[in-house]
Structure 1
Amino acid sequence: MPDQNNEKLALLKETLQENVGMSKYEADVYLALVRGGAQTMSELAKVSGVPKQRVYDTVEDLRDNEFVEIIDDYPRKAYAVDPTEALSDVQNQLKRAEEYLEEFHEVVETVESGIALFKSKRTIEKYVENLLTSAKHDILLLCPVSKLSLVADPLELCEDQQVRVIVSDPSPESTNDVDPDGVLPETVGAVRETTSAEHFALITDRNRGLYWSTASMEQSKDEEQGFYITNSQLALILDRFVSESVWPLSRPLRSRVPSLPQQYLRIRDCLSDLSQIAHERPLDSIRVEFEGYDTDSDEEVHEFGSLTSFYFTDYDRRASLTVDLGEADDGVQSPLVTVGGVGNRLEDYSAHIITISEINESTDDILDDETREYLRACQRELPHEFGTRSVVSGFAAYVDRMREIIEEWSNGYQSVGQSEAFKEALFRFDASERVPRIEWTQTRTEPGGHVAHTGHTFDNLGYDITLIGPLGTPIHSEFSREFRDQTLVSVGETTNTDYLRFKDQKLLFTEPNLDRISWETLLEEVELTELAEYVDGTSLMTVGTEFSTPTLPSLFRGLREDLWPTLSSPPDNVQVATDAIDRFGASQVRNGYAELGELDEIVTVTVNANRSQTRRFRDIYDGDPGTHSKSTVQRVRESLGVTRYIMHTNQGGTLATENNVLHAQAPQVVKPRQVRNVDAHFISGVAIGLTENVSDGALLILGNSVGRYFMRHKEAPNSEELRSFISQYDTFFKS
């Protein structure tokens, strides 16, 4: 023990002399007073070993430096001031020196091990600020409420970065949500809240990060530690923890519909934004550019194309884009590829940078000469008066029931406004022992299906239209009320589609009609002579297939063999609107449309399809994209054996005949009121043109016009509105 005390005294003497600035005599006297308490000068000289004549001066110097106090008694005594108090000035000086050093110290950008540990709170805060201010593209922050003031000012400068914040560890005494607008600047695009106690985590550009432990947990007794991460793989692990584990289970407090273009480092961020954008514009109007690698060859790639579909949910690790690569003339021949995020091996490509923008930012918003020619033809060929001819529409019909989810009863009911709130309610059910029970209410009903869509368009323009389909027995009021001045022929019971409507999206529950209409079942409800009376003398028969693909052969054969021979003045055109062909196997689709070619031998048949349906036909009939001299729409037309095949996309319509392929641009709609059902209204526009026997180019203009009017106004046009739109068609393009 004496040896240990001697070592301690030697260390203390050395420290007091070298670090505090005491002389040898001062250190000896001070330590003697610390160990022995109050002592006279004679006692001090004996204990410290300092000559008595020097003790007086030494004690006076120590008192001047506030290390000792003197008792003015006889004999005089001295005692040591409490070491903590005595050394406080030295400690303050050291702290100021540390602060000055940190101020001048440059932040370490490269750490040999990829991670550095800091225990100084000031140092950690400095690295937080540096990460925020140096971020180039992306900031993801998990921040306890107590630390929000630390990041608010640096985040206000992040105007060009995508910023998402999760607020954690709210006060248990607080009954109110965190107000992001009161704490976080507008540069933060999305804010969520988690009630769990989470440490501070900051990741910038997915390649640097900082994890600040115990920063959020007041009950923790551990010292605060900041782990500064420069290794990109370690940063990515932290990023995935926050973005895939914490973010999806946190409650949204702030979100915005993104503007385009946008760049993303995480595919889930991109898909989350797309799920909002998809409610405002068609998917094929969005351009996707990505950088990454081919998952088969590991070769680096930089590709771009148009978006065709995507898969995303907060509660599934799978997330992908389906992109149409290339610049094929008809927009169909180029291959479809799937794109996943970093580390993905299931998709064709893995992307680490994804950019989405509007396709129509290029030459698509300048009216080309071909479209201008068809527009002039349409303007010349429009009838002086709509509604002088008659039409038959069949056979797809059902009732749309608009519904809202009830959240609570208070002075009536309160509906669930956002789809996220509905999802959260489902998870609460899953976590409880109660049987899930959801209350909903029906707000209105309306007719749906091909019969209803074409019926609305022709009815608005004053045509006589006969609607044949499963309208109910007796006919449902939705049809009789909406089409009270038209002829309605029911051939069976209808089914329902429940539209679960939220402010940000809607969910459809469709009850398919299992009693599919075939020629035999049709004649069980309507005699052939009666059916002939409805069809004879009309200008067009338009047919929606929907769920009836397997029974189409009997329908087309019956029209050709049984009905048409009985007609004295048959329609000039038959229009077939494809739908739901992706729900059936290739052989069913081939068999379903096999009779179309023979029907076309006695009446002109026009088939309408969108781009995805055209791809489906292509894959079924030749399955070899990009190796033919003819365009895809031409090859599909030949495979079906019909006179016309029309494909419609967000960019416009493409029409193939035996000798030609025509294309007409569609006006782009800014902030459309309706995106769903635009296909049906394009088809209705083409049906008007077929009824009036306009030229092929004019058919495309009419299809584009009715479809785009519906996007703008959420309803079909009347005669004056349609003429006005066509007269202004070219004004929607840049001059």
Structure 2
Amino acid sequence: MNSEEEAKFALLRDTLQKNIGLSEYESKVYLALVQGGFQTMSELAKTSDVPKQRVYDTVETLREQGFVEMIDDYPRKAYAIDPSEALSEVHNRLDRAEKYLEELHETVENVENGVALFKSDATIRKYITSLVRNAERDILLLCPLGDLDAVLPLLEDRDEQHVRLIVSDIEPDAEDNERVSLEYSIPDTVDAIRGVTSTEDFAVTVDRKRGLYWTRESTARGTDEQQGYYITNPNLALVLDRFVSASVWPFARPLSGRSQSPTLPKEYLRLRDCLSDLEMLSDSRPLTTLEVEFHGYDTTTGEEVQKRGVLAGYYYTEYDLRASLTIDVHDDGDAVDSSLVTVGGLGTRIEDYSAHSLTLRYEGEQRDRLDEETESHLETCLDELPHEFGARSIVVGFDAFVDRMREIVGDWSEDRYERVGRFDEFKESLIAFEASESAPRVEWRQTKIEAGGHVAHVGRVFDRLDYDVTLIGHLGTPVHTVFGREFSNQTLVSVGESTYTDYVRFDDRKLLFTEPNLSPLDWETILDHVGVEELAEYLDGTPVLSLGTLYSTPQLPSILQGLENDLWPTLRSPPENVHFSPGAIERFDDTTVKRGYDALAAFDNVAPVTVTANRKQTRRFRDLLDGRSGDESTPTVEQVRDELDVSRYIMHSFREATLANGAEVLTARVPQVVKPRQMQNVDEHFVSGVSLALAEGLSDGAVLILGNSVASYFMRHNEVPGKDELRSFVAEYDSFFDYL
């Protein structure tokens, strides 16, 4: 140390002793810590030239006076409090000394051993400020009301971060109608704010990687002094973040007079924050206009992934720790491979992927706006819609069931029970039985009974529009009352005993327990019950014969052969179209499926056959192509149509419908429904709309529009449309894209 430095240190020691009241040992120890940073007691004895046996009590005295702080580690370490804080009371008198000290001071930014304990109010507030100022993407704060004045200024320029604030210690009389009142001006940079009346400690986490937990004197356990735990271990910071986000936030109440719709694009570190915003956004726009990009990992392989897709659905309630979203990762509307994936938060094992960051944006709107082709098909449909529905007769066969609608019974409370609303919850209850010695028992309750199957779904649409409908299928012997009651004004032709499907509806999916019919329907069975002459009476003059499904009628090839060879030659005016819905054909082997579509190809020689399928069914057909049709540039629907050798093939999804007719491939966007009331059985109602379009002789583009309209109306209202409703929906088709 040269003479100039010795003079500075002499001045500092003299100033600290004469003006601050430090002893000789205290000034030496403090200056040694200022110059050298973190030091153990042994190290400090050497650098300060203070006897080791006096170092401990000297450091403790300096800590009590607010000059140093201790780190509870082994061996124990001390460091100097920032001089601007320690000397604030005599700042003006120590300007020169402070200048020299700042030149020597080594700031304590290397508190990286996981958790550091602070007891000085000034030090704790310093690190709170540092955390908020250095946050990159996310800030979560739990702040007692008394500290709000100090915290709000820190948030005023945090417009690049996602900020959530919970204010605690609010007076009970500030609660009103499930909201709380605060007489504070909250910065617009705060994305969401809530309040609780309970007494809570202060907590802050940033980017889910760092945090600080500050116990107050009134809430500390086993001590009368406040303690601040500065957390730099990311795993521990995540625990604190989850505690505040999952245990405090859901039970806090929103602030009165503050409603802030999220502005997109927006990035999230918590899945639940993203889902909370989705709940607000989905009140005003369809889910499929939103895109989600996420970074995370595959829950099966552990592989890091980055994926992006259109939102298809989500599950979220504030009081259920389980939360997930479903996205469609395909960009190609013609693609048929499974493209729906589920995404959960950090640590999930149930969903396909676990996300550690997500971005929500509106970019999907470009794909869902009313494009020129859809607009052209819509104009055609409006021109071709009949002035009056119901002028013709329709025949529908053969898939028919009696559906018993049920719900799973959950927990009982006195004489009431909670319905199990989510499929995963039901699945987990079954898994729990593995650890139980008792036999599994599932309680369910029948809520209603109704006609089901292809016959009922298609027949219901035509019946509502006042067509004369003939329904042929396993309707019961005698005809089951559920069919007789709903279709009392129609012709019911039963060809055998009805079977039952126990239809369990959950909020996110359905579960069907179907009783197989041990008397499968074939051509001989139909002739035994009806006969060719009676069938001819029903079919002669009808514009369309709507058939389904191969799933429930595996002997359909024999029926098609019988219709072609025995019935068609007797008809004076045979149906102008045959419309076929395959159903769940994945249950059958390749030979059975091929036999079915060979029969369809043969039947197309006597009447134009239209096959309508969803993406999963189309994938099954495509997998049987063996590369015999088309090439990589040929659309899948065209390849499948060529292989089936039918007049039309239609594939529909929740975003668009595509038709191949041998000459061209047509596509029509699906109207996007805000807050759909029903997502189940949409397939059947699209099929019904296509059958209706074929019955009225609409052109192919208009067929897609009418199919989309019937299905979308059902999604929106949970019922089939009447004449005026259907006509109005088609007329307003383009308005469902106006939210863009």
Assess same fold via TM > 0.5: yes
Corresponding position of 2:686:
682
Q: 1:149: how far off?
A: 6.9
- Give the 3 Å change call, closer, same or farther, for CA 301–402 of structure 1 in structure 2: closer
Corresponding position of 1:638:
642
1:383 and 2:368 correspond: no
Q: 1:117: how far off?
A: 1.0
Distance in 1 separating the partners of 2:622 and 2:343: 22
Corresponding position of 2:516:
514
Q: 1:455: how far off?
A: 1.7
User: What are the within-5 Å matches in structure 2 for residues 544-623 of structure 1?
Assistant: 544-545=548-549, 547-548=551-552, 550-583=554-587, 589-621=593-625
Corresponding position of 1:72:
none
Q: Give the secondary-structure state (helix, strand or coil) at the position aligned to 1:702.
A: helix
Distance in 2 separating the partners of 1:448 and 1:269: 40
CA contact (8 A) 2:401 2:501 kept: no
Corresponding position of 1:477:
481
Distance in 1 separating the partners of 2:235 and 2:499: 53
- Give the 3 Å change call, closer, same or farther, for CA 268–562 of structure 1 in structure 2: farther
Structure 2, unmatched stretches of 5+, are 1-13, 25-60, 70-80, 89-101, 255-259
Distance in 2 separating the partners of 1:375 and 1:645: 20
Q: 1:527: how far off?
A: 3.5
State the one-letter code of the partner of 2:394.
V
- Give the 3 Å change call, closer, same or farther, for CA 457–359 of structure 1 in structure 2: farther
Q: 1:662: how far off?
A: 1.0
State the one-letter code of the partner of 1:379.
L
Distance in 2 separating the partners of 1:357 and 1:23: 63
Distance in 2 separating the partners of 1:165 and 1:587: 62
Corresponding position of 1:62:
none
Corresponding position of 2:459:
455
Corresponding position of 1:542:
546
State the one-letter code of the partner of 1:389.
R
CA contact (8 A) 1:458 1:688 kept: yes
Corresponding position of 2:119:
120
Distance in 1 separating the partners of 2:473 and 2:668: 32
Distance in 1 separating the partners of 2:322 and 2:731: 50
Q: 1:496: how far off?
A: 2.9
Q: Could you report, residue by residue, the CA deviation over 1:211-232 in whole angstroms, capped at 9, with x for unpaired residues?
A: 56899985556987544345xx
1:492 and 2:493 correspond: no
- Give the 3 Å change call, closer, same or farther, for CA 632–258 of structure 1 in structure 2: farther
- Give the 3 Å change call, closer, same or farther, for CA 205–396 of structure 1 in structure 2: farther
Q: CA RMSD in A?
A: 6.0
Identity %: 43
State the one-letter code of the partner of 2:449.
T
State the one-letter code of the partner of 2:468.
D
State the one-letter code of the partner of 2:517.
D
Corresponding position of 1:704:
708
- Give the 3 Å change call, closer, same or farther, for CA 344–436 of structure 1 in structure 2: closer
CA contact (8 A) 2:470 2:493 kept: yes
- Give the 3 Å change call, closer, same or farther, for CA 102–129 of structure 1 in structure 2: farther
Q: Could you report, residue by residue, the CA deviation over 1:324-357 in whole angstroms, capped at 9, with x for unpaired residues?
A: 344x363558988887877999999886532244
Aligned counterpart in structure 1 of residue 85 of structure 2, from 97, 101, 104: 101
Q: 1:484: how far off?
A: 1.2
Q: Give the secondary-structure state (helix, strand or coil) at the position aligned to 2:308.
A: strand
Larger radius of gyration: 1
Corresponding position of 1:650:
654
Q: Give the secondary-structure state (helix, strand or coil) at the position aligned to 1:595.
A: helix
State the one-letter code of the partner of 1:707.
A
State the one-letter code of the partner of 2:487.
F
Q: 1:465: how far off?
A: 1.1
Distance in 2 separating the partners of 1:421 and 1:251: 24
CA contact (8 A) 1:261 1:355 kept: yes
Corresponding position of 2:665:
661
Q: Could you report, residue by residue, the CA deviation over 1:689-717 in whole angstroms, capped at 9, with x for unpaired residues?
A: 11112211111121122223223333222
CA contact (8 A) 1:191 1:254 kept: yes
Aligned counterpart in structure 2 of residue 204 of structure 1, from 203, 206, 209: 206
User: What are the within-5 Å matches in structure 2 for residues 75-474 of structure 1?
Assistant: 101=85, 111=110, 113=112, 115=114, 117-120=116-119, 122=121, 123-124=123-124, 127-128=127-128, 131=131, 135=135, 137-139=137-139, 181-182=179-180, 202-210=204-212, 219-220=221-222, 226-230=228-232, 234-236=233-235, 238-239=237-238, 243=242, 253=251, 263-266=267-270, 286-291=290-295, 304-307=308-311, 323-326=328-331, 328=332, 330-332=334-336, 352-357=356-361, 361-362=365-366, 364-368=368-372, 370-394=373-397, 395-401=399-405, 403=407, 405=409, 413=416, 416=419, 441-474=445-478
Distance in 2 separating the partners of 1:587 and 1:241: 58
TM-score (norm 1): 0.67
Distance in 2 separating the partners of 1:229 and 1:524: 80
State the one-letter code of the partner of 1:658.
G
TM-score (norm 2): 0.67
Distance in 1 separating the partners of 2:391 and 2:576: 15
Q: Give the secondary-structure state (helix, strand or coil) at the position aligned to 2:634.
A: coil
- Give the 3 Å change call, closer, same or farther, for CA 467–116 of structure 1 in structure 2: same
Structure 1, unmatched stretches of 5+, are 1-13, 25-86, 169-173
Higher alpha-carbon deviation: 354-363 or 280-289: 280-289
Higher alpha-carbon deviation: 316-325 or 123-132: 316-325
Distance in 2 separating the partners of 1:603 and 1:451: 21
- Give the 3 Å change call, closer, same or farther, for CA 301–608 of structure 1 in structure 2: same
Q: 1:687: how far off?
A: 0.9
Distance in 2 separating the partners of 1:190 and 1:587: 61
Distance in 1 separating the partners of 2:423 and 2:223: 37
State the one-letter code of the partner of 1:482.
E
CA contact (8 A) 1:400 1:496 kept: yes
- Give the 3 Å change call, closer, same or farther, for CA 624–156 of structure 1 in structure 2: farther
Q: Could you report, residue by residue, the CA deviation over 1:576-600 in whole angstroms, capped at 9, with x for unpaired residues?
A: 2233345556665445444322222
Distance in 2 separating the partners of 1:589 and 1:217: 70
State the one-letter code of the partner of 1:263.
E
- Give the 3 Å change call, closer, same or farther, for CA 161–437 of structure 1 in structure 2: farther
Distance in 1 separating the partners of 2:353 and 2:631: 23
CA contact (8 A) 2:581 2:612 kept: yes
Distance in 1 separating the partners of 2:440 and 2:87: 59
State the one-letter code of the partner of 1:603.
A
Distance in 2 separating the partners of 1:611 and 1:462: 31
CA contact (8 A) 2:610 2:647 kept: yes
State the one-letter code of the partner of 2:452.
G
Q: 1:470: how far off?
A: 3.3
CA contact (8 A) 1:512 1:547 kept: no
CA contact (8 A) 1:117 1:225 kept: no
Q: Could you report, residue by residue, the CA deviation over 1:237-277 in whole angstroms, capped at 9, with x for unpaired residues?
A: 6427865x998899954799997765333557657987999
Q: 1:456: how far off?
A: 1.9
Distance in 2 separating the partners of 1:284 and 1:598: 39
- Give the 3 Å change call, closer, same or farther, for CA 586–362 of structure 1 in structure 2: same
Higher alpha-carbon deviation: 670-679 or 154-163: 154-163
Distance in 2 separating the partners of 1:166 and 1:436: 43
Q: Give the secondary-structure state (helix, strand or coil) at the position aligned to 1:711.
A: helix
Q: Give the secondary-structure state (helix, strand or coil) at the position aligned to 2:514.
A: coil
- Give the 3 Å change call, closer, same or farther, for CA 126–91 of structure 1 in structure 2: closer
